[in-house]
Structure 1
């Protein structure tokens, strides 16, 4: 499979060959779903926690005598039925990690890339170089490519500080190193933009069966 390579002015400068085994496979939707669920689940910290009646502060003394007050009997202020008391069956810290075999994770990314290619939503730029941190300059590059109004996942081979900082204020642009991209990152956009070296590296990483 072949992609046109653009420069920062939006002109085609060359072509680049990639493997059909990465960018032209039959998409496996079920596997993509499993991969995304695993990625989103693994992003959870699982630190949610409530205190039980034994963990809340206070409650050591009986609030009032058992009989004669006209009130309901009570043995402790830490009871779950009291305001400020413990919580019954509340959340506790938990590990939500879901493991997916490496081959399945690779195939999920291949599936999304192949679907994006069939939708004509993959572009390759030679490289993005900015002399200074300037959001306007980065937007100009996207305008020349005709994708400034799209939601973009930009996948360079290496993270350039000027590019990273220049794109941070753009809500429609997400920058991540090509070899570190997740299935969700590839799905959560309208256009995938690679730099030339970035698509080579991801191709090499995923062509391993």
Structure 2
């Protein structure tokens, strides 16, 4: 599929680029997308949750009442989870939530995500640009030109660009990444994906392995 290349003012440059059918026009695999997004979110979890259990509570260990004849259930320690102030029974413990996915499945998921966005006309190709110095004002002017002020946008650069990255860092609704940092979650989470011209070849190369 061919897409027009826009400049930073949102105007058509008169040039068009070919988006690879093997990346941007495949039949999306929704389950692959789901698994990759699930893995990304799982990897964000710290897994440091912890509650004190019976053995970790400060308190007496003496038997609080006799075993029989009270008419109530037997109880051995005030630290039992059935009493107020006792330890929590089967509480959360630190754990690692991450899990493994095959590289081929992750590539399929990213291609599916790009294809979904392409079908929704949510992909824009922008000519390469740079800033002389980091200024949020410069980046917001590009968002205004592309009508992305109130939308979640993802900018994919061909190579790391410190000035562009720093110019966008204060904007919650926009994110700037390089090819190596692309994830299925980031693509699906954006309302509009903006690909710089220099990023296209490497995206196709990385996802066609």
With the shorter chain as reference, the TM-score category is 0.7 to 0.9
Q: How far 1:178 moved relative to its partner?
A: 2.3
For structure 1, the 5+ residue unaligned runs are none
Q: State the match for 1:9 in structure 2.
A: 9
- Which residue is 1:32 aligned to? 33
TM-score scaled by length of structure 1: 0.85
Q: Deviations over 1:35-71 (max 9, x none)?
A: 2122212222222111211122x224549786xxx9x
2: CA distance, partners of 1:51 / 1:147: 48
Distance in 2 of aligned mates of 1:153 and 1:28: 21
Structure 1 consecutive aligned stretches of length 4 or more whose deviation exceeds 6 Å: 63-66
Q: 1:176 is paired with a residue of what secondary structure?
A: strand
- CA–CA distance in 1 between the matches of 2:63 and 2:134? 64
Gaps of 5+ in 2: none
* CA–CA separation in structure 2 for the residues paired with 1:171 and 1:106: 27
SS in 1 for 2:140: helix
1:191 Cα shift? 0.5
Q: Which residue of 1 aligns with 2:44?
A: 43
Residue number in structure 2 paired with 1:119:
120
CA distance in 2, matches of 1:79, 1:164: 54
Count the aligned residue pairs: 204
CA distance in structure 2 between the aligned counterparts of 1:9 and 1:131, rounded to whole angstroms? 17
Look up the match of 2:98.
Answer: 97
Contact 2:50 2:93 in 1 (8 A): yes
- State the Cα RMSD in Å: 2.4
Contact 2:64 2:78 in 1 (8 A): no
With the length of structure 2 as denominator, give the TM-score of the two structures.
Answer: 0.85
